[in-house]
Amino acid sequence: MSNAEWQAHVRAWLQAGAIQQELWRRLSNAHIQDADQSTLAAQRRMEELSPEEGARRIHQMLEANPGLRDPSAFANFMAMFGGQPGAPLMVERFRE
């Protein structure tokens, strides 16, 4: 990798972080017109976390459950992140 390529990758990484924070802010503050209970539970959980903490937990979930990267596993992700009312969240297992 050349110096220019390395610097381009650093810029892309920084931009990705800014985009990730903005998406977190939008998702956690959105008014979802047709949301079901699982979606609302996930959003409430997002509101409790900073973008950095949320990203850390999502990365940990993906490391522990690589199958979540499959688009067909989105419902499972929602259940794990937002959970059903009263059910423990899998992300809680990653607390240090």
- Domain spans in the chain, listed from the N-terminal domain onward: 3-94
Question: In degrees, to the nearest 5, what angle opens at C-alpha 23 toward C-alphas 15 and 61?
Answer: 95
pLDDT in tens, 16-73: 888 888 888 888 888 889 988 888 888 888 888 888 888 888 888 878 877 767 766 6
The tokens for 30 are 């959105």
pTM: 0.55
Residue with tokens 């079901």: 36
Give the number of other Cβ atoms within 10 Å of residue 57's Cβ. 20
